[in-house]
Amino acid sequence: MPRMKFNADTPLYSSDSTAWKLDQLHEALLRAYAMQKPVVIFVHGRGKEPGKSLKGGTYTKGMAVHKIERGYNTSVIMFNWDSAFRGLNIFDREVPLSHTGAGAIAFGKTLSLLAEFQKLHPELQRPALLVHSMGSVVIQRAILDHHWPEQRGLFSSVLLSQPDADDRDHDKWLEPLARQETTYVTLNQDDHVLLRSTDARPPGTQALGLGAQRSLAANAKYIDLSRMGGLGAKDDDHEVFGKGAMNAEIHVCQFFEQAITGRPVVLDPAKNVETVERNVIFRLKSHRDPGAPCLRLPELPDEEESLRDFRD
């Protein structure tokens, strides 16, 4: 079977690798909600997608859709944009950056269709939006290029996981988003992928997911995961939502579980917050609890079987 490749005609995928056209979003959502689980819209980062997030491969383990769906007992619809890097240059940002504008247009259409669906089904819980790494640039472009609908509360929460967007001036797009949606941003200054993600970046800037020293979005909440120990001992530490990347940190796991499943997120100095900086950066307390049910690793599809149709 040939490797799964980007197809602009089918930017939506469910975990069984079913490809959906934009005008099939209503059908895809109805199928997702029929599972009687919280629904998550997932926007992936850089890589050879949709194969990476559905089948595994490239330079990280991948299978993000299954990590989210099985790790948090959710139903996932992935938004696919043209995120492939140049050749074997896994840290190439220039080529995928050139496709974020087209991705933003398609994602804006997805959001408009989602708004229509919600008017028809007001009884259904709003999905969570999980955006990983360079997918944040698609969100940035969607907002700055006016593709994001003005409707408030499309999502139960918006979670930007280790965003690869530039830290400089990020508040100019993040603040408008945070005024419309409950928005969280994870930060980890030890993220080894973002530390090397310097290609096609203006001088004096870094990935937002490494931290933000400049202006912050006043209505967003930044979740600082730095210095939690050897994050990623069993997984890729860049995919911080993967439970194998949490190094048994229970407060990290509970945060992701709450945000991804649409439950109220607890950020309380008396319970799970060590410090609050600049009013919006919440440094989680470190507390390891390897036996906690939240941290149980999900059983992912067999990698060898899953990779058969991904390899060239």
Range of the domain at 241: 12-307
Residue 254 lies in a domain: yes
Residue 5 lies in a domain: no
Task: Return the pLDDT at 306.
Answer: 46
> Could you say which residues of the chain have pLDDT below 70?
1-2, 57-61, 88, 228-236, 303-312
CB atoms within 10 A of CB 254: 21
Residue 7 lies in a domain: no
Residue 83 lies in a domain: yes
83 neighbors 60 (Cβ within 8 angstroms): no
Q: Which helix (H) or strand (E) segment is 41 a member of?
A: strand 39-43
Task: Return the pLDDT at 201.
Answer: 95
161 neighbors 131 (Cβ within 8 angstroms): yes
Each residue's pLDDT tens digit, 47-84:
999 999 999 865 556 899 999 999 999 999 999 999 99
Task: Return the pLDDT at 123.
Answer: 97
Task: Return the pLDDT at 230.
Answer: 55
Residue 95 lies in a domain: yes
CA distance 128 to 261: 7
Task: Return the pLDDT at 163.
Answer: 98
Tell me the whole-structure pTM to 2 decimals.
0.94
Alpha helices (H) along 100-159:
100-120, 135-144
Domain count, the chain: 1
Residue 2 lies in a domain: no
Residue 3 lies in a domain: no
